[in-house]
């Protein structure tokens, strides 16, 4: 009998009891809108902003409707105008090039390395050739590049960095939290990220002028003084006249659900990392048939998902791996599909922008697999999944050699 896993890869861990009670309290009050407060009272949303800013170590924080909205507001506040080139990783999730297109700008895609981080040589070259003044740096699947080197490259060329931290909430580079290197950090609280409010986003920055612009654009009307982590009134003097309202607010119900999760986030990060380590260690034994992207020295990832590549394998072999794992109850995604698939797509599918040649990225994602590591898995689950991965991949390697 082959081993089989029967758990769910998409089951979320239960929300904390405190989230349920807070949600009931907000629903009972019917005060769902973030500016629906009595004098002197702080809304759930404002409290979340303050608490997230403290946790992240950022001066300012704005709670918004989604991670995508956080990126769009950051791009707009950074002054990106229609037709401007904006650099971003060639391997990322569709809302990233989507945010660039939403503000009318033109994505310039930068190659990634086999460790799934932006390629510094290609970045340096495209900073020069594109003339772009903004880099929307996506920490896709939690892989953190050499932030010290990136900041050197961009500062020399006066390029503003916006970090997409949808997968790096809680991750660090040399002890500093991801999101604090660029001018902005953009976070998502969509169900499949590190905190779960269904949909939602958080935007952080240390720049008071840009924070004020983002707050006004998020749809604060003249309630901008009712935010939890905002700059002083002088910063709004022009912003309140100059910035259009784009209605991207978070509401009190989501904020209420998130606050107790934030209290437990460090614990959750440790939990993901324990689980991912158990699985990743077993895969190391299959090298070089299997290549596991390595964290750079200095990077602390959050192991809410793991990735591996099968260098040199064909599309048919990759599809066989997905199929064989599925029959054993192990759900992995493959990024090499010719057509967009589920949540995944690749740059060749993004016809809303100019087609670009990215041979190095293509080679990596052609055999790249991705597996979620939910906190609902216990240690025994992780070990069973690791055993199944090893068995299926080993069988494929042997079949490949024989063919
Ligand atoms: C989910 C995700 C986003 C956007 O988050 P939403 O809240 O769904 O808009 C951005 N970047 C990456 C890499 C993501 O996975």
**Are 101 and 242 in a shared domain?**
yes
Q: pLDDT tens digit string along 22-37?
A: 999 999 999 999 999 8
Which H helix or E strand runs over 372? strand 368-372
Look at residue 13 in the predicted model and tell me its pLDDT: 84
- Reported as a pLDDT band with limits 50, 70 and 90, residue 315 is very high
CA of 190, closest atom in ligand 1 = 7
- Domain assignment of residue 284, yes or no: yes
CATH classification of the domain holding 86 = 3.40.640.10
Closest CA to 203 of 356, 67, 100, 30: 67
- Domain assignment of residue 8, yes or no: no
State the distance from the centre of ligand 1 to the C-alpha of 66, rounded, in angstroms. Answer: 8
State the distance from the centre of ligand 1 to the C-alpha of 316, rounded, in angstroms. Answer: 29
- Domain assignment of residue 397, yes or no: yes
Cβ–ligand 1 contact at 92 (below 6 Å): yes
Q: pLDDT tens digit string along 178-208?
A: 999 999 999 999 999 999 999 999 999 999 9
- Assess contact for 73 and 217: CB atoms under 8 A: yes
**Are 183 and 197 in a shared domain?**
yes
DSSP string, 97-126: HHHHHHTT-EEEEE-B-TTSSB-HHHHHHH
CA-to-CA distance for 318 and 8, rounded, in angstroms?
22
- Reported as a pLDDT band with limits 50, 70 and 90, residue 403 is low
Q: pLDDT tens digit string along 283-313?
A: 999 999 999 999 999 999 999 999 999 999 9
- Domain assignment of residue 40, yes or no: yes
State the distance from the centre of ligand 1 to the C-alpha of 383, rounded, in angstroms. Answer: 29
Q: Which domain holds residue 37?
A: 17-263
Q: pLDDT tens digit string along 160-181?
A: 999 999 999 999 999 999 999 9
201, 236, 263 - which closes a domain: 263
Closest CA to 392 of 329, 334, 336: 329
**Are 206 and 294 in a shared domain?**
no
Q: pLDDT tens digit string along 44-75?
A: 999 999 999 999 999 999 999 999 999 999 99
State the distance from the centre of ligand 1 to the C-alpha of 92, rounded, in angstroms. Answer: 9
**Are 259 and 269 in a shared domain?**
no
Residue nearest to atom 11 of ligand 1 (CA): 166
- Domain assignment of residue 12, yes or no: no
**Are 101 and 183 in a shared domain?**
yes
Q: pLDDT tens digit string along 122-145?
A: 999 999 999 999 999 999 999 999
| Domains identified in the chain, total number | 2
**Are 21 and 87 in a shared domain?**
yes
**Are 103 and 207 in a shared domain?**
yes
**Are 313 and 258 in a shared domain?**
no
- Domain assignment of residue 6, yes or no: no
CATH classification of the domain holding 338 = 3.90.1150.10
Cβ–ligand 1 contact at 185 (below 6 Å): no
Residue nearest to atom 4 of ligand 1 (CA): 67
CA-to-CA distance for 403 and 397, rounded, in angstroms?
10
Residue nearest to atom 6 of ligand 1 (CA): 67
DSSP annotation of 64: E
**Are 99 and 217 in a shared domain?**
yes
CA-to-CA distance for 126 and 119, rounded, in angstroms?
11
Cβ–ligand 1 contact at 138 (below 6 Å): yes
263, 286, 315 - which closes a domain: 263
**Are 93 and 148 in a shared domain?**
yes
- Domain assignment of residue 395, yes or no: yes
**Are 244 and 300 in a shared domain?**
no
209, 234, 263 - which closes a domain: 263
State the distance from the centre of ligand 1 to the C-alpha of 188, rounded, in angstroms. Answer: 6
- Domain assignment of residue 337, yes or no: yes
**Are 269 and 257 in a shared domain?**
no
């Amino acid at each position: 009998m082959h081993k089989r896993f029967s758990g769910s890869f998409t089951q979320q861990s239960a929300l904390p009891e405190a989230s349920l009670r807070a949600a009931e309290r907000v629903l009972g009050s019917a005060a769902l809108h973030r500016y629906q407060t009595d004098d002197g009272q702080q809304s759930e949303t404002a409290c979340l902003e303050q608490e997230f800013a403290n946790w992240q170590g950022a001066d300012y924080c704005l709670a918004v409707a989604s991670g995508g909205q956080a990126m769009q507001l950051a791009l707009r506040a950074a002054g990106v105008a229609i037709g401007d080139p904006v650099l971003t990783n060639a391997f990322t999730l569709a809302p990233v090039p989507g945010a660039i297109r939403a503000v009318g700008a033109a994505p310039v895609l930068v190659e990634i390395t086999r460790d799934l981080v932006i390629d510094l040589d290609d970045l340096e070259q495209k900073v020069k050739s594109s003339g772009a003044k903004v880099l929307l740096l996506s920490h896709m699947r939690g892989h953190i590049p050499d932030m010290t080197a990136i900041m050197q490259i961009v500062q020399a060329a006066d390029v503003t960095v916006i970090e997409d931290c949808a997968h790096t909430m809680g991750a660090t580079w040399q002890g500093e939290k991801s999101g604090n290197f660029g001018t902005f950090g953009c976070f998502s609280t969509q169900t499949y990220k590190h905190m779960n409010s269904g949909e939602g986003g958080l935007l952080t920055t240390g720049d008071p002028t840009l924070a004020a612009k983002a707050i006004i654009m998020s749809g604060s009307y003249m309630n901008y003084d009712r935010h939890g982590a905002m700059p002083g009134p002088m910063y709004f003097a022009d912003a309140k006249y100059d910035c259009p309202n784009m209605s991207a607010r978070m509401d009190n119900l989501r904020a209420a659900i998130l606050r107790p999760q934030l209290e437990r986030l460090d614990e959750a990060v440790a939990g993901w990392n324990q689980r991912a380590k158990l699985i990743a260690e077993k895969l190391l034994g299959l090298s070089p048939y299997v290549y596991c992207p390595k964290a750079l020295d200095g990077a602390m990832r959050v192991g809410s998902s793991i990735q591996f590549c099968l260098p040199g394998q064909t599309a048919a072999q990759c599809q066989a791996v997905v199929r064989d794992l599925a029959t054993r109850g192990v759900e992995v995604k493959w990024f090499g599909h010719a057509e967009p698939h589920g949540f995944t797509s690749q740059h060749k599918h993004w016809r809303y922008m100019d087609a670009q040649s990215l041979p190095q990225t293509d080679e990596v994602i052609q055999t790249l697999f991705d597996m979620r590591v939910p906190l609902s898995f216990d240690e025994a689950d992780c070990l069973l999944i690791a055993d199944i991965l090893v068995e299926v991949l080993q069988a494929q390697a042997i079949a490949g050699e024989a063919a």
